[in-house]
Structure 1
C-alpha cells in the first residue's frame, strides 16, 4: 500500500510503499496525534525508516489498493 505524508512548511510530500495494513498506519497516526508523541516512525517495504515530527503533520494519505506496475523495477 502507498502512504503519502504532507509536512507543514514543506513544498514536497513524503511518499513511500509500506507493507503495513491501512488500519495499522491509521491507528499509528491517530495514537501519535492523540498522545504526547513527538514523532511518528514509518518503515517502508525496503526497510528505510522515516521519522516525521507529529506536530508538523499536514495530512496522511493511505491507499490500500496497489496499482499494477508496468516496466522494470530495480
Structure 2
C-alpha cells in the first residue's frame, strides 16, 4: 500500500510503500495524532523505518491495498 505523509513546514511529502494493513497504519496514525505516542513510526516494504514527530504531521493519505501488475496484458 502506498502511504503519503504531509509534514508541516515542508514543501515535500514523505511517500513510502508498506506491506502493513490499512488498519495497522490507521491505528499508528490515530495513536500519534491523539497524543498516545510522540512519533508516527512506519516501516516500508524493504524494512526501512520512518519516524515522524506526531506534532509535525499535516495529513496522511492511504492508497489501496491492491498490488499493481507490471508489464503488458494480452487481450
Could you say which TM-score interval applies, normalised by the shorter chain?
0.7 to 0.9
Give ranges in structure 2 of 5+ residues lacking alignment: none
Unaligned runs of 5+ in 1: none
Q: 1:18·1:43 contact (CA, 8 Å) conserved in 2?
A: yes
Structure (1 or 2) with the larger CA radius of gyration: 2
Corresponding residue SS for 1:37: coil
Tell me the C-alpha RMSD between the 2 structures.
Answer: 1.3
Alpha-carbon separation, structure 2, partners of 1:57 and 1:4? 11
How high is the TM-score relative to the length of structure 1? Answer: 0.85
Please identify runs of 4+ aligned residues in structure 1 that moved more than 3 A. Answer: none
TM-score, normalised on structure 2?
0.84
